[in-house]
Amino acid sequence: MSTSAIQGPGILFVRSRISPSVHDILSEPTFLTWYDNEHIPEVVSTSGVDSAFRFIDIHKSSPIGNEQNTKPFLACYPMEDLAFTLGDEFKKIGFKSSALPGSGVIYDLADMDVSYLGIVGKTPKREEGEGGRPKYVISSGIRPEKQPAEEQVTAFFQKVCFPCKTPSEQFHVGSILMSLLQQISMLEKSPQYMRTLRFKLLYARTNAQSRALKGLPTTDEPHPEPSTWMAMHEFAGVPDETFVKALNDGVSKAAEEDGWGETEIETLVWKLDRVHGDGKFFE
């Protein structure tokens, strides 16, 4: 995986947690205050990033993560050209703060996984949330053992994420049958569903690689293996929990039928916690 792939429109998708070794000195409020008052404002003040969105896993039980989600905090930075992250302006963004305990170096205190996701498609926005933005997002990521052709995965996501034709129709949980066809009906009929965006992984780096990028001492941490394809389903209200199982079952069915081999699936529900900058997400 080469940094030469980092180009074109997409998002910086940053998953994080407070490191287990320092959770006794770094509280969640201090961590999020640093994020909202220092880090994200500095990022959106650059010439290549105008908006940022910070989410929290709705099932978060600890700031150090749990078995379901080891990194329960998410920040998304949409960009017109992800290549901006390779330039000097972006690389000069600070990583040390007097508001943080200990060394004040964020990479000593939090574990951060960074994915560079190129946008490959989106459905029309069906309903407007407050301020025209969603309040919840389901991220549905897959990492097939055998890499399918891009058009094959795109066709799968298009089937799953077909835009709604009847927004006033009510969703009935008992009608869900675990197949791709029923997934379409599920997303169409939810009154809270807004739209879906689809992304392809271009590059990823671990906390250790971020340290190296900043010239800090680092460790020989294995290269990350995040989802290679991601769909983000936007909702104006809390999505029904059965969506997660249905989406997972749909991916499993597609992987089996299309011969993707062993396929890692990660489907998580995030609540929008803070918006920064222009607040635009591929409108």
pLDDT tens digit sequence for 20-74: 999 999 999 999 999 999 999 999 999 999 999 999 999 999 999 999 999 999 9
Indicate whether 283 belongs to any domain: no
Q: What are phi and psi of 122, to 5 degrees?
A: -155, 155
Give the pairing of strands 110-122 and 10-18.
antiparallel
Whether pLDDT at 77 is above 60: yes
- Which residue is listed with tokens 């407070």? 18
* Cα gap 59→241, rounded to integer Å: 11
Whether pLDDT at 109 is above 50: yes
Instruction: Give the pLDDT of residue 188.
Output: 66
Q: How many domains does the chain have?
A: 1
Indicate whether 230 belongs to any domain: yes
Identify the residue with better confidence: 169 or 42.
42
* Cα gap 88→202, rounded to integer Å: 20
Whether pLDDT at 107 is above 80: yes
CATH no. for residue 173?
3.30.70.100
Confidence of residue 135 (pLDDT cuts 50, 70, 90): very high
* Cα gap 171→160, rounded to integer Å: 16
Indicate whether 183 belongs to any domain: yes
Average the pLDDT over 111-127 and give the result.
Answer: 89
Identify the residue with better confidence: 150 or 273.
273
Identify the residue with better confidence: 266 or 154.
266
Instruction: Give the pLDDT of residue 153.
Output: 57
Residue 163 contacts by C-beta under 8 Å, 6 or more apart in sequence?
A: 123, 124, 126, 188, 195
Instruction: Give the pLDDT of residue 66.
Output: 93
Instruction: Kindly state the DSSP code that residue 148 receives in the 8-state scheme.
Output: -
Helix (H) / strand (E) containing 274: strand 263-277
Average the pLDDT over 213-218 and give the result.
Answer: 86
Instruction: Kindly state the DSSP code that residue 63 receives in the 8-state scheme.
Output: T
Indicate whether 266 belongs to any domain: yes
Indicate whether 28 belongs to any domain: yes
Indicate whether 220 belongs to any domain: yes
Whether pLDDT at 79 is above 90: yes
Whether pLDDT at 111 is above 70: yes
Q: Which two tokens stand for residue 14?
A: 């940053």
Whether pLDDT at 272 is above 50: yes
Mean of the per-residue pLDDT values of the chain: 83
Whether pLDDT at 140 is above 50: yes
Average the pLDDT over 180-194 and give the result.
Answer: 66
What is the three-class DSSP state of 85? Answer: helix
Whether pLDDT at 174 is above 80: no
Using alpha carbons only, what angle is made at residue 117 by residues 252 and 79, rounded to the nearest 5 degrees? 145
Cβ-based burial of 130 (10 A; exposed 0-12, middle 13-18, buried ≥19) = exposed
Range of the domain at 57: 3-277
Average the pLDDT over 215-235 and give the result.
Answer: 84
Average the pLDDT over 241-246 and give the result.
Answer: 82
* Cα gap 34→52, rounded to integer Å: 15
Indicate whether 45 belongs to any domain: yes
